[in-house]
Amino acid sequence: LDNKVTLRHSIRGKIKFEKKLFSINTEYYYQPSISDYKDYILYGTAKLTIFPNKPLSFISQQTLNYRSVSSFKIIQNIYRYVQIYF
């Protein structure tokens, strides 16, 4: 386990797009090391919703966590679910 201390800064990108039948929301962060540009973290989420303003909607969501200098570089989860409002 590497206990190296790294000073980072962060840049965030966010997109939100909504229509009557679907919506797309994404938010990602890029965090490079200040001392080494090859050492960076990229993480965020992307979400697609079908019928967002209806009592029954379908959602697909992805989460991503990428570390450029880690031996285990990427963790990615994909979720699909149904949302019901009563």
The whole-angstrom separation of Cα 10 and Cα 42 is: 10
Residue 72's pLDDT is 84
pLDDT of residue 42: 96
44 pLDDT tier (thresholds 50, 70, 90): very high
Asked whether the predicted pLDDT for residue 1 surpasses 60, the reply is: no
First to last CA, the chain: 48
* CB-based contacts of 75-84 (< 8 A; 24+ apart in sequence): 82/56, 82/57, 82/58, 83/49, 83/56, 83/57, 83/58, 83/59, 84/55, 84/56
| pLDDT value at 6 more than 60 | yes
Is pLDDT of 84 > 90? yes
Residue 2 has pLDDT above 70, yes or no: no
